[in-house]
Amino acid sequence: MKKTVTEIRESQVKISDAFWSRIQEKVIDVVIPFQEKVLHDEVPGVEKSHAIENFRIAAGLSQGEFYGMVFQDSDVAKWLEGVAYSLAVRPDPGLEARTDGIIEIIEKAQQPDGYLDTYFIIKEPEHRWQNLHECHELYCAGHMMEAAAAYYRVTGKDRLLHVVERLADHIIGRFGPEEEKEHGFPGHQEVEIGLLKLYHITGKEKYKDMARYFLEERGKNPDYFYEEKIKRGWSHWGQYSTEKLDVSYNQAHQTIYEQKEAVGHAVRALYMYTAMADLAGTDGDDRLYKACRTLWDNIVNQKLYITGGIGGDSEGEAFAGNYELPNDMAYAETCASIAMIFFAHHMLEMDMDGAYADIIEKELYNSTISGMQMDGKQYFYVNPLECEPGVSGRLFGYRHALPTRPGWYACACCPPNLIRLITSLGKYCFSESDSTIYSHLMIGQKAELGKADIRVETSYPWEGKTEYFIMPKTKEEFTLAVHIPYYVDVNRRETSLTVNGEEMNLPELVKKGYAYITRKWEKGDTLCLQFPMEARKVYANQHVREDAGCVAILRGPMVYCLEGADNGELIQSLRIPKEMRAVPYTCEEGILKGNTLLKIDGFRMVGSEELYSEKPPVKEKTVLTAIPYYAWTNRGENQMRVWIQEE
CA 461/CA 447 separation, integer angstroms = 19
CA 366/CA 448 separation, integer angstroms = 28
| Residues 6 or more apart whose Cβ sits within 8 Å of residue 614 | none
- Does position 253 bind its own copies by CB under 8 A? no
CA 418/CA 406 separation, integer angstroms = 15
CB-nearer residue toward its own copies: 228 or 317: 317
When binding is defined by CB under 8 A, the residue of 173, 397, 507, 532 that contacts its own copies is 397
**What residues does 433 pair with on adjacent strands?**
5
Residues within window 548-567 making contact with its own copies, judged by CB under 8 A = 548-549, 552
Is the distance from CB of 482 to CB of 439 less than 8 angstroms?
A: yes
Which element (helix H / strand E) includes 26? Answer: helix 20-26
* Least distance to its own copies, CB of residue 553, Å: 11
CB-nearer residue toward its own copies: 397 or 507: 397
Rounded to 10 deg, the angle between the 51-58 and 73-89 helix axes is 110
- Does position 545 bind its own copies by CB under 8 A? yes
CB-nearer residue toward its own copies: 39 or 344: 344
When binding is defined by CB under 8 A, the residue of 495, 572, 622, 625 that contacts its own copies is 572
Q: CA torsion angle for 497, 500, 504, 507 (degrees, to 10)?
A: -20
Please tell me the count of residues contacting its own copies according to CB under 8 A: 55
In the β-sheet with 465-472, what is the strand arrangement from edge to edge? 13-15, 445-448, 452-458, 465-472, 525-530, 496-499, 502-503
* Least distance to its own copies, CB of residue 605, Å: 6
CB-nearer residue toward its own copies: 369 or 571: 571
CB-nearer residue toward its own copies: 396 or 505: 396
Residues within window 486-505 making contact with its own copies, judged by CB under 8 A = 487
C-alpha 634 chain-centroid distance: 21
CB-nearer residue toward its own copies: 112 or 616: 616
CB-nearer residue toward its own copies: 378 or 572: 572
When binding is defined by CB under 8 A, the residue of 388, 457, 525, 563 that contacts its own copies is 388
- Judged by phi (left if over 0) then psi (alpha if -120 to 50, else beta), residue 415 lies in alpha
Phi, psi for 54 (deg, rounded to 5): -60, -45
- Does position 337 bind its own copies by CB under 8 A? no
When binding is defined by CB under 8 A, the residue of 33, 64, 91, 390 that contacts its own copies is 390
- Does position 579 bind its own copies by CB under 8 A? no
Decide if 413 is catalytic: yes
Residues within window 200-239 making contact with its own copies, judged by CB under 8 A = none
Alpha helices, H only, 257-326: 266-283, 286-298
User: What is the per-residue burial (b if ≥16 Cβ within 10 Å, else e) of 522-536?
Assistant: eeebebbbbbebebe
Q: CA torsion angle for 356, 193, 212, 1 (degrees, to 10)?
A: 20
- Does position 620 bind its own copies by CB under 8 A? no
When binding is defined by CB under 8 A, the residue of 540, 553, 565, 627 that contacts its own copies is 540
x-marked contacts with its own copies along 434-473 as a string, rule CB under 8 A? ----------------------------------------
- Does position 621 bind its own copies by CB under 8 A? no
CB-nearer residue toward its own copies: 226 or 539: 539
- Does position 304 bind its own copies by CB under 8 A? yes
When binding is defined by CB under 8 A, the residue of 2, 113, 608, 620 that contacts its own copies is 608
x-marked contacts with its own copies along 627-646 as a string, rule CB under 8 A? ------------------x-
- Does position 324 bind its own copies by CB under 8 A? yes
Among 292, 387, 413, 561, the one annotated catalytic: 413
| Residues 6 or more apart whose Cβ sits within 8 Å of residue 73 | 51, 54, 55, 116, 117, 118, 119, 140, 143, 144
Which element (helix H / strand E) includes 447? Answer: strand 445-448
* Least distance to its own copies, CB of residue 319, Å: 11
x-marked contacts with its own copies along 117-156 as a string, rule CB under 8 A? ----------------------------------------
Which element (helix H / strand E) includes 637? Answer: none
C-alpha 287 chain-centroid distance: 25
* Least distance to its own copies, CB of residue 551, Å: 8
CA 632/CA 591 separation, integer angstroms = 11
- Does position 360 bind its own copies by CB under 8 A? no
When binding is defined by CB under 8 A, the residue of 435, 474, 500, 541 that contacts its own copies is 541
When binding is defined by CB under 8 A, the residue of 542, 588, 589, 621 that contacts its own copies is 542
Is the distance from CB of 91 to CB of 97 less than 8 angstroms?
A: no
- Does position 358 bind its own copies by CB under 8 A? no
- Does position 577 bind its own copies by CB under 8 A? no
Among 81, 190, 317, 349, the one annotated catalytic: 317
* Least distance to its own copies, CB of residue 303, Å: 8
* Least distance to its own copies, CB of residue 72, Å: 26
Residues within window 272-301 making contact with its own copies, judged by CB under 8 A = 300-301
Of 328, 382, 370, give the one whose Cα is nearest residue 550: 328
The count of other CB atoms within 10 Å of the CB of residue 35 is: 25
* Least distance to its own copies, CB of residue 359, Å: 12
**What residues does 466 pair with on adjacent strands?**
458, 529
- Does position 544 bind its own copies by CB under 8 A? yes
User: What SS3 class is residue 644?
Assistant: strand
- Does position 367 bind its own copies by CB under 8 A? no
Segment interacting with its own copies, rule: CB under 8 A, options 39-47, 239-247, 504-512, 546-554: 546-554
| Total residue count of the chain as it appears in this document | 647
* Least distance to its own copies, CB of residue 339, Å: 19
When binding is defined by CB under 8 A, the residue of 607, 620, 623, 636 that contacts its own copies is 607
Of 305, 367, 377, give the one whose Cα is nearest residue 333: 367
Of 375, 354, 594, 371, give the one whose Cα is nearest residue 482: 354
CA 122/CA 287 separation, integer angstroms = 43
- Does position 611 bind its own copies by CB under 8 A? yes
- Does position 61 bind its own copies by CB under 8 A? no
Rounded to 10 deg, the angle between the 137-155 and 73-89 helix axes is 20
Q: Which residues are catalytic?
A: 317, 413
- Contacting positions for its own copies (CB under 8 A): 300-302, 304, 306, 313-316, 320-321, 323-324, 329, 388, 390-391, 395-398, 487, 536-545, 548-549, 552, 570, 572-573, 575, 578, 605-617, 645, 647
